Structure 1
Amino acid sequence: MKLEESEGLAMGSEGPSAPVVVPRNFRLLEELERGEKGIGDGTVSYGMDDADDIYMRSWTGTIIGPPNTVHEGRIYQLKLFCDTDYPDKPPTVRFQTRINMTCVNQETGLVDPRLFPMLGNWQREHTMEDILTSLKREMSTPQNRRLHQPQEGNEDQRVEQKGLSVKCVIM
């Protein structure tokens, strides 16, 4: 049971007190531990980008596309940025891998909170795991399961994502 969901007893009191609000860093440490252990069937995972980041802001997520969709077998990389107001406010979520989904901006890869209910109707109890599993479910919805996807394995796309340019000279 998560701490923020339990009703604790105040020291020396007879009755229940207000729900315990877990501080941001404790909450993120709990999420990190869960992410490191693996989630469910292994088709969704996440972890910190930099173990030395004491603010625990930058995270990487991975989703393996669900079966019986155009996403099947594809591996999607995401960046999640948890600002100082997380978990009271949702993280910023951006697909690093190009994807065509109704809730994702095609140019930037940002998941639009107006089009993705979990971010738009954020609740403190939601976690990064919840976001990733919800995005995976979204891939299976009728409006997303058959959308044409950008080609994968294209060298130009990978280089473009890193912000590098490549020149080829044929002699």
Structure 2
Amino acid sequence: MTQIPSALILRKELQELMRDPVEGFSAGLADDSDLYEWDVTVMGPPDTYYEGGLFRARLSFPRDYPDKPPVLRFKSEMYHPNVYPNGLVCISILHAPGEDENGYEDASERWNPVQNIRTVMLSVISMMSSPNDESPANVDAAKEWRDNRDSFRRRVSQVVRRSQEE
């Protein structure tokens, strides 16, 4: 039985992450029979509002990976300007390659096939450290981030506590 190239690439990336883990997240297959669905745990980065949190997420890969980006959706509650209320992460590296039809991003900021799981997860950790409120996925979180940091911090503290109880 021949495997499609994306399966070979994903297997290799998973093996590399097991051999050389990256601080701040862990990843593994959601089901041993499916290389295209991964469970991920993102640790809230130190010195951020998310510190101490253990946020569960699902990383779903298209069959034409790495030509197309994966989709990352938090399963744990997440309150962040760049995460939709349904948990879907909205950052440039996860946007389809090419020009942005809305003109918000340069093509160089978007997905390209040299990206990998490691760069995606490091971008998510960076996102948690430095929210981008310029083009928010969660408008309420972005407004609170801009206008009332104390309220934002309190709300995120509740989310962090709940993530620790999951």
Structure 2 length-normalised TM? 0.68
SS at match of 1:30: helix
SS at match of 2:42: strand
Name structure 1 gaps, 5 residues minimum.
Answer: 1-21, 159-171
SS at match of 1:49: strand
Aligned positions of 1:149-164 closer than 5 A: 149=156, 150-152=158-160, 154=162
Change (3 A) 1:105 1:26: same
- Verify: 1:52 aligned to 2:60, yes or no: no
Q: Which residue of 2 aligns with 1:130?
A: 119
Question: Which letter maps to 2:89?
Answer: V
State the structure with bigger RCO (CA 8 A, min sep 6), 1 or 2.
Answer: 2
What's the CA shift string for 1:119-143, capped at 9, x where partnerless?
1210111112211111111111165
Q: CA deviation at 1:75?
A: 0.6
Q: Which residue of 2 aligns with 1:110?
A: 88
Question: Which letter maps to 2:26?
Answer: S
Change (3 A) 1:142 1:26: closer
Q: CA deviation at 1:35?
A: 2.3
Structure 1 length-normalised TM? 0.66
Name structure 2 gaps, 5 residues minimum.
Answer: 96-109, 134-144
- Verify: 1:66 aligned to 2:55, yes or no: no
Q: For the residues of structure 1 that align with 2:75 and 2:83, how far apart are their CA atoms?
A: 11
Q: For the residues of structure 2 that align with 1:142 and 1:76, how far apart are their CA atoms?
A: 16
Report the count of equivalent residues: 129
Query: Percent of aligned pairs with the same residue?
Result: 29
Q: For the residues of structure 2 that align with 1:151 and 1:57, how far apart are their CA atoms?
A: 28
- Verify: 1:87 aligned to 2:66, yes or no: yes
Q: For the residues of structure 1 that align with 2:32 and 2:126, how far apart are their CA atoms?
A: 29
